[in-house]
Amino acid sequence: MTATTLDTANLSRFRRKLTLLSSIGMFLDGFDLTVIAVALPVLKKSWTFTPLTAGITSCSAIVGMFVGALVFGRIADRLGRKKMYLIDLIGFVVFAAVTAISQNVWELIAFRFLLGLCIGADYPISSSLTAEFGSIRDRGRLVVALSLMWNVGALAAYLVGVALLPVGASAWRWMLLVGAALALITLVFRTSIPESPRWLMAHGRIDQARRVVADLVNRESAAPAIRPSQVVLPSLTQRPAGEPARTDTGQWRRLFSRGLIGATFFVCMFWFAHDVAYYGIQMYSPTILTSLGGSTQLAAYIGSAIIALLGVVGAAIAVMFVDSWGRRPVLITAFAGETAVLVILALAHAPALALIVVLFAIAILFSNMGPGTLDMVYCTELFPTELRAAGTGLGTAVSRVGAILGVLVFPDLVDAWGVGGALWLFVAAGVLGLIVTVVMAPETKNRSLEQTTGIRRRFGGRTADLATTGTKEQQ
């Protein structure tokens, strides 16, 4: 065994299983966040919505995500990945089910908020667990696969909506129950996932971490069984400059210490910029298509599904290139492409529905090729194990502020400036994300998690590795 056992051990079958179970959770997140955009037009035929209650309904789950990511990310760093991996999915089953039987607008809003708590919790928990079991060569692809499934879930929400429209006034209830049923099945299989060895190491439980690794290796290898004493785990002693070794864990304020504040700012800002445009487009695709293209509701849903499908393609491109081309070039290309397409759309005068669908689809493709998939990759790589879920939770929470801005402010801008003018909000967000990425994005491919902690981008195209001496430079 070598010092990089956890990164180099042949655990491909287990990693596929873990990624699948985490990905289904992200599928459900994408499905339930998007399905409200499909369900609202159906609900409005049965219930009375004011502009205020419609807006609150649309963003109630996002507000819940803000709280859930902040709170449960820190709890996952303290109590462990495995416990929270199960608890958040139990909550998902319960609140998705009760949301489907809501009797009025305010019950729907309250239950969607509680569902959002669980969705927000799943982001830092699933991504941290997946990254901590990943190897150097495929960690990026595994974490990006989670985001890919989020987009598949968003696409499925539109397809399920189209399929259930003939059901009539109760269609929205069945849309929400689909997510609850799938979550219940996934919960059963998640119970077989062990605790993260890296989390165990960060909490001083070295022998238990060795047993987990040895057990997984023995299950997958035909070679003679290894003993836990033969497992040599990676060192957790490397820290960003300015971050002395600590025995405490889950200290949220440490994210703003000298060695980590750069990573915290970078992750929060580029993820915030992404969500302003992405959620604005995702939540209002049917509305935008109807307003600009004069389409019917069914045509708007189909157009929205096409846009979501290109989002899946974009995430698939990220899976292909994130570990070969690298995180930084993929992210810069994606922000630049998305912003350019949104500028063209904002400048277009009375565009045809087909052109709107094509341009929005290309924008979402670029979005999901970069910031929509690399958000969790950078979070899991730039923060140390004892703060990984808390850091990812903070990034998720700040990004939800961007999502809420896109969802709540965009309709007011449409009223004031028209849809074409309001799209400049998304352009501005894209420009912000591009600038932050060019200036600050580091390259973390082909490094272990212990090596990526604290890496930051310096001016002049050089990368500083703060996890070592603080002076080593890499091109």
pLDDT tens for each residue of the chain, 475 residues long: 343 466 666 778 888 899 999 998 889 888 887 888 778 777 877 888 887 888 788 788 888 988 999 899 889 999 999 999 999 999 999 999 999 899 999 999 999 999 999 988 998 999 999 999 988 888 889 999 998 898 888 888 888 887 887 787 788 788 888 888 888 998 999 999 999 999 998 888 988 988 998 888 888 776 777 777 777 777 654 444 444 444 444 477 888 988 889 999 999 999 999 998 887 776 666 656 655 545 566 666 677 777 778 888 999 999 999 998 999 999 999 999 999 998 998 887 766 767 777 888 898 899 989 998 999 899 999 999 889 999 999 999 999 888 888 777 777 777 777 767 778 888 999 999 999 999 999 999 888 888 887 665 543 345 544 433 333 333 3
Amino acid 141 reads R
The pair of structure tokens assigned to 282 is 């995702």
Position 382 scores a pLDDT of 93
Amino acid 346 reads A
Q: Give the C-alpha separation, 339 to 163, whole Å.
A: 33
Q: Give the C-alpha separation, 455 to 314, whole Å.
A: 26
3-state secondary structure of 474: strand
Position 33 scores a pLDDT of 79
| Closest alpha carbon to 111 in 93, 85, 125 | 93
Helix, strand, coil in percent for the chain, rounding step 5 = 75, 0, 25
Contact 374, 273 (CB under 8 A): no
Residue 119 neighbours by CB under 8 Å, 6+ apart: 28, 29, 32, 33, 61, 64, 65, 68, 92
What is the separation, in whole angstroms, between the first and last Cα of the chain? 31
Position 5 scores a pLDDT of 62
Position 158 scores a pLDDT of 81
In this structure, what DSSP letter does residue 307 have?
H
Q: Give the C-alpha separation, 153 to 368, whole Å.
A: 13
Distances (CA, A) of 233 to 201, 389, 425: 9, 21, 48
Position 108 scores a pLDDT of 92
Amino acid 400 reads R
Cβ atoms within 10 Å, residue 137:
12
Contact 441, 327 (CB under 8 A): yes
Residue position matching structure tokens 């990310």? 73
Q: Which neighbouring-strand residues pair with 457? A: 463
Residue 145 neighbours by CB under 8 Å, 6+ apart: 19, 23, 319
The pair of structure tokens assigned to 13 is 């079958």
Please report which residue ranges of 51-138 form alpha helices under DSSP H: 51-79, 81-100, 105-133
Q: Which neighbouring-strand residues pair with 462? A: 458
Contact 398, 252 (CB under 8 A): no
Q: Give the C-alpha separation, 368 to 9, whole Å.
A: 30
Domain annotation for the chain: domains and CATH numbers = 5-198+245-474 (1.20.1250.20)
- The pTM of the full predicted model, rounded to 2 decimals, is 0.81
Summarised one tens digit per residue, pLDDT across range 327-365 is: 999 999 999 999 999 899 888 776 676 777 788 889 889
Contact 154, 32 (CB under 8 A): no
Contact 9, 235 (CB under 8 A): no
Q: Which neighbouring-strand residues pair with 474? A: 463
Give 51-60 contacts, CB < 8 A, sequence gap 24+: 51/411, 53/105, 53/109, 55/407, 55/408, 55/411, 56/109, 57/105, 57/108, 57/109, 57/112, 58/283, 58/407, 59/403, 59/404, 59/407, 59/408, 60/108, 60/109, 60/110, 60/112, 60/113, 60/116
Q: Give the C-alpha separation, 120 to 67, whole Å.
A: 7
Q: Give the C-alpha separation, 438 to 442, whole Å.
A: 9
Q: Give the C-alpha separation, 30 to 91, whole Å.
A: 16
Buried b (16+ CB within 10 A) or exposed e, 449-466: bbbbbbbbbeeeeebbbb
